[in-house]
A = this chain, B = another copy of it.
Amino acid sequence: MSVTFAQGFSAAGVSAGISAVEGKKDLALVVNDGPLDVAAGVFTPNRFCAAPVQWSRKVVADGHLKAVILNSGGANACTGAAGYQQSVDTAEKVASLLGTEAQSIAVCSTGLIGELLPLDRVLAGAEAAFAALDDGEQAGADASHAIMTTDTKPKTVELEGTGYRIGGMVKGSGMIAPQLATMLCVITTDADVTPELAREALSAGTSVTFNRIDVDGCQSTNDTVLLLASGASGVKADPEEFKALVAKACASLARQIIGDGEGASHDIRITVTGAASEDAALACGRAVAASNLLKCAISGNDPNWGRIVSSLGTVPPDVAPYDAEQVTVDVNGVRICEHGGAGRDRSEVDMTPREVHIDIDLNAGDAEATVWTDDLTHEYVHINADYES
């Protein structure tokens, strides 16, 4: 279903020969058939952002998009003026097929950094995708497959609002850091919303979801999240409900990224409570989520709380005031660290579930935040030592 779950959208996913994997679907097209063409986007803050990010950030700025074309098999990042021209050419091709202007077409790319795309294949693929456009379930599924790289499964979401729908797809498995942990994501809705509401909902939704997951602390050059609204349901969405649903869609997709993190054998939820502020809680959660040593311990089924508190200890006091001797840590419900020291025995913790819950109470206030990460495994190293090298 994915992006075609919402009315007013057609999609396609085709094999264009861009990916090094023979026959893999590697080009997706998502078209907003209207009546509205409202859109919003958030993008990587990376200073080496890719050509398609530079292009898409510009064209979505006015709050409108007619379509998005996405490819795997090449990031078109660090490719200079020639790379930028490839994004422009791609947008122009899609625009001519749809009878609109290039300014209405967003472009997303993912794959190896530093190489130009095989543009002829992208343009031929755009024609094939255009010919395959359909608003059915299979078309949405095809699109969600076409954006996968090291992902082992497609990641999609479908939600029902009051009289309208939200659908979405995301790709992402490695190079996932909290700002902005996504790679590529397209969320569609048939609700009738203004560009302002779309922007507000997407910004708020990503800040507590995609910005709070961390597979490997590595920020991508290509991260893009787009929200497209067709208005095809004819229903004006209640702003609060709509924002809540967009956040829920983002949360579902972010959780699926963690569930498919490169080589991961455990999904780790880190919740920090008792913080002086949400920012303090978030800083502590992110510090713990970034610890390679902890992530290795978890992969070895070791609830090593020493590696949790030593990570907490790196957060400056002005960012997160707390007293080390008041901190408690529970892993999977067992309080193995109390008053900043040893609590119940680590052997009491059941580490067999894939999901591991780390609950940290700073006992320094009422604010809290949750971040997600993955464990660090042999398989992660294997994937990233050998990826298209």
Chain A residues within 8 Å of B, Cβ to Cβ: 45-49, 75, 77-80, 83, 112-115, 174-175, 177, 179, 216-221, 290-293, 296-297, 299-302, 304-307, 309-315, 317, 324-325, 337, 339-342, 376-378, 380-387, 389
Contact = CB atoms under 8 A, between A and B. Distances in A.
> Which residue among A115, A296, A339, A376 has the maximum number of chain B CB atoms within 10 Å of its CB?
A296
Contacts of A291: 217-218
Contacts of A311: 218-219
A317 B217 contact: no
Contact of A218 (B293, B324, B378): B293
The main secondary structure of chain A at its interface with chain B is loop
A205 to B, nearest CB: 23
26 contacts: A46-B313, A47-B312, A47-B313, A48-B309, A48-B313, A77-B306, A78-B341, A80-B339, A80-B341, A112-B306, A113-B309, A114-B306, A115-B342, A179-B314, A216-B293, A217-B290, A217-B291, A218-B307, A218-B310, A221-B309, A292-B376, A296-B381, A296-B384, A300-B384, A376-B381, A377-B381
Given A291-B218, A340-B78, A342-B79, A296 B385 contact: yes
A381 B77 CA distance: 30
Given A377-B381, A381-B381, A301 B340 contact: no
Contact of A384 (B78, B175, B297, B310): B297
Contact of A337 (B78, B83, B218, B297): B78
Contact of A292 (B78, B218, B302, B310): B218
A309 B78 contact: yes
Nearest to A311: B218
A-B complex: 4 closest residue pairs judged by Cβ atoms? A113-B306, A300-B385, A296-B384, A302-B389
Contacts of A384: 292-293, 296-297, 300
> Which residue among A45, A293, A339, A389 has the maximum number of chain B CB atoms within 10 Å of its CB?
A293
Contacts of A77: 306, 310
Contacts of A325: 80
Nearest to A294: B218
A292 to B, nearest CB: 5
Contacts of A381: 296, 299, 376-378, 380-381
B47 A113 contact: no
B302 A48 contact: no
Nearest to A340: B78
B219 A313 contact: yes
A173 to B, nearest CB: 12
A49 B313 contact: yes
A380 B49 CA distance: 31
B48 A312 contact: yes
Nearest to A44: B313
A75 B313 CA distance: 15
A179 B315 CA distance: 12
A49 B325 CA distance: 11
Contacts of A341: 78-80, 83, 114
A48 B293 contact: no
Contacts of A301: 389
Nearest to A82: B341
Given A113-B307, A306-B78, A381-B378, A174 B342 contact: no
